[in-house]
Amino acid sequence: MSFELHPQLAKDTTIIGHFPLCVALLHKDNAVPWVILVPKRANLKELHHLPMQEQQQFLLESQAVSQALEATFQPEKLNLGALGNMVPQLHIHHIARFQDDVAWPGPVWGNTKGEFRSEEEQAALLTRIGNVLSLSKLFTRA
C-alpha cells in the first residue's frame, strides 16, 4: 500500500515540501506558526514503529523544522506533539508559541478560535518558512 495523506491533514494544511522521510505541512490555523511532519509510510501510527534508521532521520528533519521556526519567529517556546486521537496517521506537530498567543500557556488543541488564515496569509507564511527550510540540504519545496 502506498502513502496517502490523511484527508483531515490534507484539509487543514498546505504542503510546504518534502524531506527524505517526511512531508512538511503548514497548518492553516491562524493562531500560531504550526508545521506538521508526516512520515511518508503507509499505515504508520507510532514513531517507534519506524526502523531505528528512519527514527534517526525523523529527528534530523524535526530539528530542521524546529530551527526554521526559531529562526523565523523567535518564539518563547516550541511545542512538539503527537496526539493522533482524531487522526491516527502518524504526524508530529511543531508549534511556535508566544506568551501573547490565544492559547498560552495551555496547549493549542481546543484552545484556538479555529480560524484559518486567508489564502494570501497562508501563501506568505508558506514562503517565509519554505525559504528557511530550503537552506537545509535535506529539504525540497513542493
Indicate the helix (H) or strand (E) that contains 17.
strand 13-18
Q: pLDDT tens digits for 95-121? A: 999 999 999 999 998 899 999 999 999
Cell of 47: 514513531
The whole-angstrom separation of Cα 60 and Cα 65 is 9
Cell of 116: 484559518
Asked whether the CA dihedral 124, 128, 134, 139 is positive or negative, the reply is: negative
Task: Choose among 77, 76, 93, 101: nearest CA to 34.
Answer: 93
Domains of the chain, start order: 7-141 (3.30.428.10)
pLDDT at 57 (0 to 100): 98
Mean pLDDT of 19-39: 98
pLDDT at 142 (0 to 100): 86
The model's pTM: 0.96
pLDDT at 112 (0 to 100): 92
Cell of 117: 488564515
Mean pLDDT of 14-38: 98
What backbone phi and psi angles, to 5 degrees, belong to 124?
Answer: -65, -45
Q: pLDDT tens digits for 45-93? A: 999 999 999 999 999 999 999 999 999 999 999 999 999 889 999 999 9
Cβ(69)–Cβ(75) below 8 Å: yes
Indicate the helix (H) or strand (E) that contains 130.
helix 119-133
Mean pLDDT of 3-25: 97
Cβ(82)–Cβ(47) below 8 Å: yes
Mean pLDDT of 11-20: 98
Mean pLDDT of 13-22: 98
